[in-house]
Structure 1
Amino acid sequence: MLDTIFGDQTGYVCFTTSHEMGSGKPDEDRFFEWPKSREAINTWLGMRHDEDVWFSPLVYTEERRTADNVKSCQVVYADADAVQPSEFHVTPTITVESSPGRWHAYWLLSTTDAATAQDLSKRVQQAHDMEASSSGRAKLLRWPGSTNLKRETPAKVELRAHETDLVYTPWEFAKAYPSSGDRYALAAIEGELAKLDDPTEWNNATFGVAARLAELVKAEWNYYSETDALEDLEARAPRDSGFGFEVVEEQFTRKLAEVQPATAPESVETDTVQPDDDELQKLATTYYRQKKAATLADEMLAAETPDAFAEVTWAELFSTARFPWLVDGLVPADGTTVVLAPKNTGKTFLVLDMVLSALSGRQWADRCTNMDRVLFVLGEGVAGFGQRIQTWATANAVGLDSLRGKFEVVKGVNLSNPRSRDKLAAKIAAFKPDLIVVDTWARVSGVQDENDSAMANRVLSETANIAGGAGVLYVAHPNKASQQGKALDMRGAGAVLDSADSVIALRANEGLIRVSTDPQFGGKTRDAAPVTLEGFAVAPLGGSAYMTYNATGAHTDRDREILNYLQPGQTVTVKDFATLTGFSERTAARHLQDSPLVECVEPAKGRQPARFALVAHGGHALAA
């Protein structure tokens, strides 16, 4: 793996360990000169199989791990966390499992330009909603063969795939994770190459196409290279053309030396000012286009934003009508809700538990519910999602058929794309849901720059316009900094939280999950007192899990023992439970009789002992 990551580069490479073993803090850097110290690195690594060991995929000019000293890098890299290797748009050259279900990924490039590797790494991070630090120049990644001591149970860092033949040009990779410039270049390239699809036109069209491709190669706003262009031209060269590919290659090379780079697309073409060779005229033309584009953009935005002006009558102003709720005090019927939760907190489990309980005519966490149809806009895998629904239905003794027609799912939505939004609008109009769940904002919104408030506001406004009076619930991640404090805050711009009528903040709290609209925890509420509910937890069942709730907000060790051995719907006698747990029958009886999680479902009769089972509460099972 050393040779794949560092290859023919020269300079200093950095490996890092912890000063205090098991602390999980990479704070002791060790530099080696590459490739001179290859054997020394292997020896050093071989002595640290049972330690935390990190490394940087960058090569440095000197023994300091700073941005100023970065010399080169020949891999795109990502701390993918829970993103599975199969979810990437391009197959990684190397995949490493840093702990069970947690991944690091690397893609070998045909270049060692560090700026290119950094840019492409950032695109992967943004496309898959990873933490911003997952692709930074200061990023350290775990070395396979070492041990991850950060987890409660130490885990071996395992090399899962190493395909050295998977080498990508920057253009190949950029097409899978394109910028706006790459998308424009790709469209232009495909348009030019389409002119060569007819072999009879090869002799007539090829010189013009070669000139246009040369312009795109010279442009700085895409990764299209001379090699890429020649491969595209050669792939379309007919065998019986009037002249060989060598002639076209010579023409392309000559044009590459002559032509100016292709300019990026302009929103509006000039009407009266025509560019010429005078530099002042060119600057005037550019400024003119920018002004016209800004004016046109303002007109387009004004046309897309409906005029909702209306006078409020005196009677309406002082109406005592209660604000309608889909879930009392938490989810408004005609407003926007945000469920804000760190990764792996169980946010999707919680939202599923909420809406499926409501659709089954039950309370949720002792709160009244009022919804008949829910549309779930899914940004992740459908297979695992279906298993979660089935697990919830099993745990709560609900038939899946009873949910048919009430709960529907769509995927592949991009709220920033007008065509995708129109399809969603048609679905909403036909289904008429009471609530639309968007899981997650980062995956479905299509907002590439999380700090772009204007774009976020536009997406929120467009989505509200097509909601048809339904409530909209966005599942979102907080920024990393706020997770260190008491109150959660959203990543990037505050447009999403500012637009929300209710913000439900989730935090792990002593092994359980706290759900709150209280501002001190990052929550928000409209026309209702803040709500804080303790006692939620994700309980495993079969190959999946479901969200559970205990109204007391606390679980004893006894309760946890019960839930380790009892499944929803299972009934046991005291003797059965003693056998399962290894307790004495006296201890088993005390656990079953004293726990608020258990009820006697069959009293003792004659020689037949009493039978016990998990109790249902607030519309779904209690659990730890």
Structure 2
Amino acid sequence: MTTQSNTDAIRFLTALDPEATAWTFQTFDDSDRKDSNLARILHGSLVEHAAELERLNSAGAGVFVTINKTNLIGRRAENITRVRACFADFDVADPSTPDRLRAFALPPSLIVESSPRKYHAYWLVSDLALNQFKDLQKQIIYAWSTDDKVHDLPRVMRLPGFFHRKGEPFQTSIVEVSERLYTAAELLAGFPVIAETPLTTPQAPHVCQPDVYAQAALERAVGAVSCAAEGTRNDELNRQAFGLFGFVKAGRLRESGVRDALHRAGALVGLVDTEVTATLRSAWEAAPPRYEGIPVTRSLVIYSDSEAESPATEPPPPRFTLLNRDALRRLPDMDWRIDHVLPRTGIGLIIGQSGAGKSFAAIDLLARVSLGQNWFGHDTRPCKAVYCALEGRAGIKRRIEAWERHYGHEMPDNFAVVLDSLKLTEGDDVHELAHAILEAGGEGGLIVIDTLAQAGPGIDENSSADMGLLIEALQRLQGLTDGMVLAVHHMGKDTSRGARGHSSLYAACDAVLAVSASPQTISTDNANGGKSKDAEPVTHGFDLESVTLHITDDGQEIAGAVLVERNSTPKASLPKEPKGGNVKIVWDKLGAMLREAGDIRPSDAPDALPVGRPTVRLDAVIEQIGPQLPVDAKRQTERTNSAITSLINSGHITHMSGWIWCK
């Protein structure tokens, strides 16, 4: 096991039961193919099974552990001997979940991030009887509107330290551990018994002003339905409607608005109106009111036409929450996509006059984020990077190829380009774009729309009302994808006033990168038209360099351009000789292969291969060098790939289109 996976797994198991020496582990295929060869039940210690669990995880299996104590014979209800903890699966992505849990009267003993912004919460308990577990679990589900299937005694949950393998691999990790041990009496009092649901269909409640938490849930629900895979859409609609109608019954959302939004989302994915209506009716009848996310619990109040305006029950709490100093200190720190330049979530702009290099700046920024590379000296957190190229489509291929040629890196699968037309304020384009991005694993990613003018045809940029529509569309796309949305936009004639159009656009932005042609700089300083809300402003110089892509048969040079950090040394001298381990072995053996290959250019070698430079195929390197590494035969390919990746990242070799050569 890696150091991180070993540490997190041990911390989790130790917190769960410090006296346990053996556990019941379970693995399943995380993908839709459900390969039975990846399914295992393993009884014993983590040390005993670590290698097998890591191997299965690398092959695509999720790694789980039975939370409650077993007799180490099986994983059925009859094999459970003691309740260790109650738990909840927050299966809707929401970065505010840990803060809401911390603020709860009974904060969890453990919080785990199981996949991006989805969490598992555990309440360790000392004396809960086996026959009390299921009812208490249902009370927790009711209180927090979490996954309603998580209430069986032998339930397994993801083991921190291992990778969640659905879609883009994500390492499940511990958010925090308090190890507080509750008594059964405390938990039963903190999660009261669920009241019986009336058999009659409740009428629509009086609705107070919607709150931010419920409104955000509505946005996420519409996105989830819009992005549901075929065969799961009606189930997804039912699940999301069940949760949203809970907010309606608690007076936190308007019923008409929820129904309209869900009808539109259902129609978008091909559900017929009668089917949607029937699903919503069923969800409405089953949904209990939801009060999480507000500081004081309030009772369900349902008014009929004959009832008075004022309820006889407890009045709703104030909509606004006043935070004291301690609450403020518990708020999370700024989460950066590019340190001190670009936050992980929000909306922003890349602005500049025509010809300043805005699109080159956008491509360079997206490339570095997708690869997790340093940007002008600032660390980045890698994510899906999507470039919506609405202008100059014919030149996009050349610009990207120029970047790859200059820096010696292919754009990864994390980088994607959209060439389809996009109208932010018309039809369902925002939801359909979000659908495509989420389907490709782009939740929490970085999206650049180039340009804002092309995405808002017919919009009067100087009109506050029209600009409000564009801002709302950008915010909606951001909310659906839970990432950062940047729009490339022009500066006005008066560059001191920043972005062209109504001032509300600049005001709504969380960051603005201003690109200048003379001098060639990119800046977040408001003196240059930029914006930095939560960090000191920065200004960096750059150059646009020409890159020869190829020579045509008639001798014409085809070139592209690339943004290069001023005074940077992208073609620096070769780093020091690799030392030790598999990297050294692969480096030495690769040198021998390249010398043997000579300088004869293979017919299918990439155009980027310098003239006279020996090259070999990546698969040949793995096939020939892998068996020479001092590792288990099952790990040879993985270790060879790891060593090659290290040599690429250290600048020793270049990889492109399946070929490798020395820089």
Q: Give the TM-score normalised by the residue count of structure 2.
A: 0.35
Q: Give the TM-score normalised by the residue count of structure 1.
A: 0.37
